[in-house]
Amino acid sequence: MNDDYATLQLTEDGQLRNFISIRGLPKSILEQILDTAASFVDVGGRDIKNVPLLRGKTVVNLFFEPSTRTRSTFELAAKRLSADVLNIDIARSATSKGESLMDMLRNLEAMASDMFVVRHADSGAPHYIARHATPNVAIINAGDGRHAHPTQAMLDMYTIRHYKGGFEGLTVAIVGDILHSRVARSQIYALRTLGAKEIRVVGPKTLIPTAIESMGVNVFTHLEEGIKDADVIIALRLQKERMDSALLPSESEFFDQYGLTNERLKVAHPEAIVMHPGPINRGVEIASEVADGPRAVILHQVTFGIAVRMAVMSMSMGGREAERNAARRQQEAQHVR
Ligand code: ASP
Q: Is residue 1 predicted with pLDDT exceeding 60?
A: no
Note the pLDDT tens digit of each residue in 62-107.
999 889 999 999 999 999 999 999 998 787 777 767 788 888 898 9
Q: Do the beta carbons of residue 36 and residue 314 sit within 8 Å?
A: yes
The atom of ligand 1 lying closest to the CA of 181 is 9
User: What band does 3 get if pLDDT is binned at 50, 70 and 90?
Assistant: low
Pocket around ligand 1: residues whose beta carbon is below 6 Å from it? 143, 149, 182-183, 237, 239, 277-278
129 CB neighbour count, 10 Å cutoff: 24
Fold identical between 2-148+303-336 and 150-300?
Answer: yes
Q: Do the beta carbons of residue 69 and residue 302 sit within 8 Å?
A: yes
Q: Write down the domain spans for the chain.
A: 2-148+303-336, 150-300
Residue identifier of the C-alpha nearest atom 8 of ligand 1: 237
Angle between helices 298-336 and 150-164 (to 10 degrees): 120
User: What band does 242 get if pLDDT is binned at 50, 70 and 90?
Assistant: confident
Which residues are CB-contacts of 242 (< 8 A; sequence separation ≥ 6)?
A: 145, 146, 180
Q: Which amino acid, one-letter code, is at 19?
A: F
Q: Does domain 2-148+303-336 have CATH number 3.40.50.1370?
A: yes
Name the fold adopted by 150-300.
Answer: Rossmann fold (3.40.50)
Alpha helices in the chain (DSSP H): 2-9, 27-40, 69-80, 101-110, 125-128, 150-164, 182-194, 223-227, 251-258, 262-265, 288-291, 298-336
In this prediction, residue 2 carries a pLDDT of: 59
Q: Is residue 328 predicted with pLDDT exceeding 60?
A: yes
